[in-house]
Structure 1
Amino acid sequence: LDFWDDFTDDGELDARTDKKTNSPAASVAIKTRIPAKGSRTFTYIIAWHFPNRQTWSPDNDCDSACDCTTVNTIGNHYCEQFTDAWDAASKVAQNLKSLEQDSLKFVTSFCKSDYPDAVKDAALSNLAILKTQTCFRTPDGHFYGWEGVGPSTGCCSGSCTHVWNYEQAVAFLFSELSQSMRIVEFAHATNDEGCMSFRVNLPLDKKAMSFKRAAADGQMGCIMKIYRDWQLCGDDTFLKELWPNVKRSLEFCWVPGGWDADQDGVMEGCQHNTMDVEYYGPNPQMGCWYLGALRAAEEMASYLGDDAFADRCNDLFKRGSKWIDDELFNGEFYEHHVVAPKKGTDIHPSLAAGMGSDDLKEPEYQLANGCLVDQLVGQYMAHICGLGYLLKKSNIKKTLRSIYKYNRKSGFHDHFNSMRSYVLGDETALLMANYPKDRPKLPFPYFTEVMTGFEYTAAVGMLYEDLEKQGLQCIGDIRARYNGRHRNPFDEAECGRYYARAMASWAAIPALSDFLYSAVEQSIQFTEKSGTYFWSTGSAWGNAIVTKTGLKLTVEFGSIKIKSIQLGQRQSKLKTASSLSKGRSKLFKI
């Protein structure tokens, strides 16, 4: 009231000399005169400095003042870069022009590419998640993420592996941060047996492995992600240092009571997963992750000279792939064969996270014969990594057609959903699962919901299989729901706002451009379809103009080395490696 009285009196704020220590509020005003039909720009910089970040969830026995001696303070990385909020504001002010120019250059370069508007909208808008409290860094530089955030705290702690499996933005835009996540997962969260805690607790040096539970999809996805990150950065030291635990994490599949205890290339054991339940028996979702991990491990082992392990992975991959095609594909999509363990003691103690069925004879919360929206998620990741097909190409395409047929629903007035409602009324979305035939009495809890991260995964899969019309339609359906009128376009919620899985939207960029880059081989690949394509490697980005005669490659940030170029079926090997740095372009005739 005092502020309002002062302001409305003459339109100015009077200077206040009294400094009340118990009142942190203050006002800042800039005075200027603006002539008729004139304009002025006012720049305000808001800065902060909070050095005492606590762990994911402060101890329950501490009071609101957070003065309990058992609270673990982990700090913030930015506090190592700035002495206080004033220092942060000062440095931003000094570099504001260049910071704005670099940001605008990225957005402009991205937006002038020929990707469909819905794809650009989805990919770019969800990058906002990286600027929210979903993500943070500790003073040692390690990067972490909640699954999402609530009004005053994060939702679901621990850089959850099975959630962060889906997003692609961090790896393709900030390779240092992505590599940091792999270091945490393999060097800190994986024990000597190879069990990776799918939620990493903090402080890292005291509690990293204290969660003691492994997720089948999370762990297999991390093996694929370290392959992806290594290919993008080309740092052999990064791979070699983590390889022993990468190898252990795959071997963990084969322990007694494990996911693939009989070592036939198919996961049959107790599989905790991103549906927050345990699957029992072979299924496409976990099966594809496993096949992808076997392929990634085979490639890494072969490169490092571990030929025996590479051969073992190759053998398991071939047998598992054939079995899944032969036994789980029903002619339209892949099904889950529910096979319950004989007794609970048959399950390795690290595999049941306590969120599955109490009845192991007839387990509840299974996928069973449902058509799952992301049953081919491992193939989605395999395409992004350049690992080839995990299952028969024809079956994959049929499955994606079936997902579009059975899971895409327009109009939700008559749709029963006992869980969260992320689609309403006349909107269109991909259901988590649909049951064209008989449905289990109690399927996994989320089957009636829709969640954008899973929808993007299916849509990107369609793009990779030349089902472009269907894939773009699914992405357009999402952005029509998050159009700024119905929902926040920068906040595709799931378990919390600004949900990490939504950054799977970035995967449509490499899918539509058929982009692959290997810093290991110094090779780059694009589609042969003429057009302008934004590309990124995690440490460099720019645009590529593809024509019938060749490729014009422009680097707007970072640098890149190339020995070979592929445009569809056209390929060119350079006599000497070509290096391009920021601001440079080069024309390659192919």
Structure 2
Amino acid sequence: MIKVFKNENKDHIAYPIGGLGAGMICLNGNGSLGSFSLRNKPQLKNNPNLFSAIHIRGVENGTRVLESSVPKHYYFDAENAGNGLTGTNYGLPRFESGEFSSKFPFATIKLKDKSLPINVSMVGWSPFIPNDEDHSSLPFAALEYTFTNSSDKPLDLVYSFNAFNPIKVNNDSGVRVIENGMSFYQEGTTTQPHNEAHFSVSALEHAFIDAAWFRGSWFDPLTMLWKNLSTGLILDQHHGENELSSPGSSLCIPFLLHPKERKTIIILMTWYVPISEVRTGETVKQFKAKDYYQPWYTSLFDNATDTHQTWIKEFDILKKETLAFTRAFYRSTLDPLLLEAVSANLSILKSPTILRQKDGRLWAWEGCCDHWGCCDGSCTHVWNYAQSISLLFPTLERGLRETEFTVHQDSITGHQNFRVLLPIRPPLHHGHSAADGQLGGIIKMYREWKISGDTAWMYKLYPEVKRSLDFAIEQWDPNHIGLIVEPHHNTYDIEFWGAEPMNSGFYLGALMAFVEMSKALSLPHELYLSLYKRGRKEFESLFNGEYFFQKTQWTGLRSTLDIKDENSETKALIRLEGPKYQYGNGCLSDALIGIWLSELAGLHDLIDESKLKSTLNSIVQYNYKASLLNHCNPQRPGFACADESGLLLCTWPHGDKPSLPFVYSDELWTGIEYQVASHLMMKGNYESGRMLVQSIRRRYDGKIRNPFSEYECGQWYARAMSSYALLYAASGVRYDGLTQTLTVRKTLKEEVYFICTPTGFGTISIKGADSTVKPYFGTMNIKKINVLGI
């Protein structure tokens, strides 16, 4: 059952539409468009004045914006609210009510108004075709409005799309008429070439274009526009070449509807912003030129006209192939709550979190601030959690590994920067590495090899993978204990001192991943296997009878704790407790993240199974809070607070919490909650895992937060794509490209699961030992189906 958002539960919905790394427009819960982020960066407060409307001739008050009421929080929270929201269309008549639902990547809005003789629905979407990263990376969006005559009389109607120039920066801008539509433009300059932008809108049928709006001051243009719309006036005009350009433009389509008849009007939108001002990081000398990011689609299209014509030409096939994914995904009989959590976070792939540069390589922020990306560089330890791209767009994910190992890794030392520069280019290597990111990259390298079955690709990167692992051993385990003991940077933006399960789990996984890759290439691996065996044994020493913990250590290491520049109170605290920002005997929700990632990649039995399960159960027992009313969080409380529920990053059930534990420890992150939830399910504790997922989705119910943007350090935060692991956790479905084997868990009743291989996607129906694969797109090279539990 698909969730339907009504009333105030749709007030905070902002549903991303656009291509991977191509820019975003949000379809809001009431049917409006906003957060126009077309300029290769987030612009989440960019809500241009544009709207669709319907006029019903002969009906009193029969002209309405095709939206439900403006969310009440806009009255006070929106930009310019203190000035009365000038420059908006919020004062125009709208439908009485509406409801929002989604089957990714399609969002559906139904509008209702008992005073009108029509029913209206609209669908917003953009292409999304797993394994076809190119057609999924286009600056395209579609709106499909369906009108049904609910009366017993014929109706004479006029649909219109109306927009002030949504990309205007200065007066070097305007609008041009195109076939059945209009194309807005903003010119660039020699000093500000990134100002150049184009935004085109057209209908897939004949339309009249009014590109000669009234040019006046104050509120004249919108006042005159509404006068025209409310009288059903249809204009087909534009200003002369030498005249001041129109402030906006309208597209009008008149049509008749007989009783119970329906009609769908399709509006296509494209944008073309070829140059940006986006660039991050320091670089080596030979790359000092001030090059800036350019989106991938500029390698495909020369101009805005080419872009828009391609959308018109390929609309039917792209819709067909996108619908194939939606039908396959929602054919699944998995718990609707899990499908909701997975699909909601696929929206991240359509947000400005994702960029794809001109040569096709993927790059990403961690999330989106209002006006810029948050935390740059495809951050390796954050992307350890994200599971969706590796399975849906494996070519793009392999590109991330290539960037990590061949561009951002020192070819001599093996030091790997955990943040990639943009445009992608070699960095300076003067910062610390992230243990979880660097070691997780080796596990992900193994994962990509297994998914693709491409041993030649793995062999090409193998020397750099070895260099990376050798660096990690020398840097963090110089005495070959088998655990990470030296101070190690990690996803919490601090260094842990001493052995602890989170990063040592990554270490064990990386060692075994490298052993398996070495075996496949018939290359020496004895050192790494012996380190793994030693580490597995030593890992047991981190178990306190309930869960794995940290043995905080700051003496007897190669590294020394330098406190000479600290203030007096910090020095006193460190002398008493040791380094700041540790967790010690705390119960860390991320304790098994390295083991989780390894198991998802196909590496099993890395540590004692009974202690693993005990740790997972302890994490739920101690860290899950049904209410946060009594929880103290001096850090960032906005992710969850008050009477909301969820999983804390860490607790100290035995009363030994450090005075200054690691930063963020009192927070709740959905990416970690999904990681724990899916791991619980993988180990048979389905109900506890489901409880965690339910807590997340209750917090993101549309009333307080956007259900389609789970945030952490910015909106559409990448870590939340750990939710994709729920599909495997609940079904056991995994594809091995090396053996072309599909593994699935035995079921008592018939179940249907979504499956995606590197060459196609579809479903598998399973009942007992019987299974049937149905392709929906491409071909799935499956030679064998392995049913677990037989």
TM-score normalised per structure 2: 0.66
**Deviation by residue 1:56-114 (Cα, 9 ceiling, x = unmatched):** 4489xxxxxxxxx9643131111111112221121111111221222222112111211
Cα distance in 2, alignment partners of residues 25 and 239 from structure 1:
55
Q: Which moved more, 1:431-440 or 1:101-110?
A: 101-110
**Which residues of 2 match residues 503-582 of structure 1 at below 5 A?**
503-529=721-747, 530-570=750-790
- The aligned counterpart of 2:271 is 48
Show the 5 A alignment for 1:39-438. Answer: 39-57=262-280, 71-191=290-410, 192-205=412-425, 207-210=426-429, 212-255=431-474, 258-306=475-523, 308-309=524-525, 311-325=526-540, 327-341=541-555, 362-420=578-636, 421-437=638-654, 438=656
| Unmatched 5+ stretches in structure 1 | 60-68, 349-356, 571-590
Q: Secondary structure at the match of 2:703?
A: coil
SS class of match (1:45):
strand
Deviations 1:271-307 (A, max 9, x none): 100011100000010011111111111100110111x
Structure showing greater relative contact order (alpha-carbon pairs closer than 8 Å, 6 or more residues apart): 1
Residues 316-348 of structure 1: CA deviation (Å, up to 9, x unaligned) = 1111111111x1111111110111156886599
Helix, strand or coil at the partner of 1:167: coil
Is the CA contact 2:499–2:551 (under 8 Å) kept in the aligned structure 1?
yes
- d(CA) in 2 for partners of 1:134 and 1:443? 29
Larger Rg: 2
Q: Please give the secondary structure, in 1, of the residue aligned with 2:266.
A: coil
Q: How does 1:21-32 map to 2 (within 5 A)?
A: 25-32=247-254
Contact 1:196 1:212 in 2 (8 A): no
Q: CA deviation at 1:211?
A: 6.1
Q: In 2 relative to 1, CA 560–220 (structure 1 residues): closer, same or farther, beyond 3 Å?
A: same
CA distance in 1, matches of 2:296, 2:789: 46
CA distance in 1 between partners of 2:280 and 2:442 (Å): 28
What one-letter code is carried by the residue in structure 2 that aligns with 1:100?
Answer: K
The one-character-per-residue Cα deviations of 1:14-65 (angstroms, maximum 9, x if unpaired) are 5341468986852231231344655433222221112223444489xxxxxx
Distance 1:90 1:156, change over 3 A: same
Question: Per the alignment, do residues 19 and 404 of structure 1 end up closer, same or farther by CA in structure 2, a change over 3 Å counting?
Answer: farther
Distance 1:173 1:20, change over 3 A: farther
Paired residue type of 1:299? E
Q: CA deviation at 1:136?
A: 0.9
The 8 Å contact of residues 649 and 665 in structure 2, kept in 1 or not, is answered as yes
Amino acid at match of 1:110: F
CA distance in 2, matches of 1:521, 1:73: 42
Q: Which one has a larger percent strand, Structure 1 or Structure 2?
A: 2
Structure 2: gaps of 5 or more residues: 1-218, 283-287, 563-569
Shift of 1:474: 0.8
1:188-224 per-position Cα deviation (integer Å, ceiling 9, x unaligned): 111121111001113434x435564310000011001
TM-score, normalised by the number of residues in structure 1: 0.88
- CA shift, 1:389, in A, is 2.0
1:6 to 224, 249, 252: 224
Residue 338 of structure 1 aligns to which amino acid in structure 2? Answer: T
Query: In the alignment, what sits opposite 1:467?
Result: 685
Q: Determine which structure has the larger helix proportion and give its number.
A: 1
1:340 is paired with a residue of what secondary structure?
coil
Matched residues in 2 for 1:58 and 1:409: separation?
40
Give the residue type in structure 1 aligned to 2:500: N
Work out the CA distance in 2 between the residues paired with 1:514 and 1:343: 42
The residue type paired with residue 645 of structure 2 is: T
Residues 501 and 334 of structure 1: CA distance in aligned 2, closer, same or farther (over 3 Å): same
Aligned residue-pair number: 547
- When structure 1 is superposed on structure 2, of 418-427 and 261-270 the one drifting more is 418-427
Q: Deviations over 1:243-294 (max 9, x none)?
A: 1000111111222xx1111112111011100011100000010011111111
The alignment's C-alpha RMSD in Å is 2.3
Question: Aligned to 1:502, what secondary structure does the other structure show?
Answer: helix
